[in-house]
Structure formats: structure tokens, C-alpha cells
Amino acid sequence: MQFLGTQTPLNRSRFLVLPLPYERTTSYKQGTVRGPAALLDGSLGLELYDEELGRLTFRDGIHVLPPVPCSGQTESVFARIEATVARLAAMPGKTLFCVGGEHSLSHATIPPFIKRYPGMGVLHFDAHADMRPDYQGSPRSHACAMYPISRQCRVVQVGIRSVGADEAHLVSRGNVKTFLWHEHRDMRTLLPKILRLLPPLVYLSIDLDGFDPAVIPGVGTPQPGGYLWHEALELFRTVIAHKKVVGVDIMELCPLKDTVASELAAAKLVYRLMGYLSAR
């Protein structure tokens, strides 16, 4: 498997991409299990030259790892992913991008970074609060993606425009600060608040439904509204410029039958984030 049709050897790569084709608790559209492969396919439609940054970021080295096997009992799968992420996160001079799959995967991708970087915070970009302790009988639901994480570190949520009655009391409580999209549509006034709240070390957890569906329609649970492409990029660019980003996950790509726009946008997002990290 390759990203952009290239593959740098692991020992010479600045960026690692870990595909996680996991889907168990989808509550609306199914297909996120195909998300990682679709994103890699979408990357073939990108230019190697980044027109915003004026650089060939792929020259820093991008290595795509084999997908983690996601069959078997849920707890065994998550333990397998967590062990793999812990090993990769310990490699010096590299930034890991975990590509899903449903957002519950963050239960396995974020804890190794919390252990490695005490005091780390999470920037959670999403349409949904994902703060339910359990959903439809499962604490490992995609609707619970941030609940256990918020018990371990600071979580700043951006783009939120869907909150369940059973999780509303957990929004903007304790370690969680939630910026509802309808109240914070102006990125220029929002950014200083986010920077003040985030600690120096940050993990980016990006659910692609955080974008307006006009930008990325192929997601498991789309919601009206949300940030457009350049608004979201301004957020990520600014956070990367002012904080040390230690890891990234990109979740919930659900490829559609008659268009490749979503996987192309998701792949370009990954490449642009790599460019921001290299430029920093």
C-alpha cells in the first residue's frame, strides 16, 4: 500500500500512515471499514507539489504500514491496535497518522500518546460531541469516542453541531471544552480561545464529518453546517504552528458510490497536515 503512489523505507520516513479498517458500531451509514483503502486510493489523484506551501512534502518520507487486522473480539482488536500504536509512537523523529475506520478507534490510538506525553491535550474536530459513556449497549461505540479520553486528558472540541440529551451534561465539563459550531463560526475569534485552552503538546483527532458535507459528503453520520475547507485548514495550520502535535487520527471516511470527492479531500487533508508539520 502506498500514499501518493510513493513509499519511503520506514527508517527514512518522517511520516507514518497506519490504516485501521475497523467498523462495528456504525449507527447510520455503513462503509467506514473501506475508508483507509479509499483514502490511499484518493491520494493517487493529488499532485506531489503542495501549492499552498510551495514544497514537495513527500520528499520528507511517507511510509504506509500494513493495515492492523481488525477481525476478532473488539477488546482483542483494540489491544492489538494500541500495542501497534505504542510501538510506532516511540519511534524518534516520526509523526504517526492513524486512518480509520470508525471513530471509536481513538480509544486505542490516543492512550499510547497520553502515556508517552503526560499533560498532552486533544483537539477534537467533529460534528458530534461523542461524549456518551455508552451507546446502543456498547462503550466502544463511535458515539463514545471522546468519553474515556476526556477522563485522561484535556479535550477541546471544535465544530460540534450534534449533541445527545444523554451527553449534554458532559459537554464543557471537567476536562472538556466544547465550541458549538453555531456559536463559533468565525475562526478568527475562535482560534485565540483554542490556543489558550490547549496545552503545549497536542494530539489531533479529526472526524471528517466535522467538515461541511459540501466539502466531504462521504462520512458515516453527516450533519448540516460545519467548517469549509479553508476555515478548517486555518484551524489546523494555526494549532500546528503554535503547539507541538505528537500524533494524528483521521476517522469516519465512508466512500460514496458515484463520487471520489471525499477520499480525494481526505487524502489532501493528510498531505496538507504533513506539510504544515514539516514547515513548522
Per-residue pLDDT tens over the stretch 192-229: 999 999 999 999 999 999 999 999 999 999 999 999 99
Task: Give how far the C-alpha of residue 43 lies from the chain's centroid of Cα atoms, to the nearest Å.
Answer: 17
Supply the pTM of this predicted model. 0.96
Q: Which residues of 94-126 are buried (b: 16+ CB within 10 A; e: fewer)?
A: bbbbbbbbbbbbbbbbbbbbbeebeebbbbbbb
Q: In percent, how much of the chain has pLDDT > 90? A: 91
* Per-residue confidence (pLDDT) for residue 250, from 0 to 100: 98
Q: Which residues contact 280 (CB under 8 A, 6 or more apart)?
A: 240, 241
* Per-residue confidence (pLDDT) for residue 90, from 0 to 100: 97
Q: End-to-end distance of the chain based on CA atoms, in angstroms?
A: 28
Indicate if the pLDDT at residue 12 is higher than 80. Answer: yes
Backbone phi, then psi, for 215, in 5-degree steps?
-90, -50
Per-residue pLDDT tens over the stretch 99-152: 999 999 999 999 999 999 999 999 999 999 999 998 887 778 888 999 999 999
Indicate if the pLDDT at residue 26 is higher than 80. Answer: no
* Per-residue confidence (pLDDT) for residue 140, from 0 to 100: 84
Distances (CA, A) of 4 to 67, 112, 271: 17, 28, 9
Q: Is 170 helix (H, G, I), strand (E, B) or coil?
A: helix
Indicate if the pLDDT at residue 77 is higher than 80. Answer: yes
Indicate if the pLDDT at residue 27 is higher than 70. Answer: no
Indicate if the pLDDT at residue 190 is higher than 90. Answer: yes
Per-residue pLDDT tens over the stretch 227-255: 999 999 999 999 999 999 999 999 999 99
Indicate if the pLDDT at residue 30 is higher than 90. Answer: no
Q: In percent, how much of the chain has pLDDT > 70? A: 99
Distance CA 206, CA 84 (A): 20
Mean pLDDT on 159-177: 95
C-alpha count within 13 angstroms, C-beta hemisphere, residue 135: 22
Q: Which amino acid is at 86?
A: A
Catalogue all structural domains in the chain, each as residue range(s) with its CATH number: 10-279 (3.40.800.10)
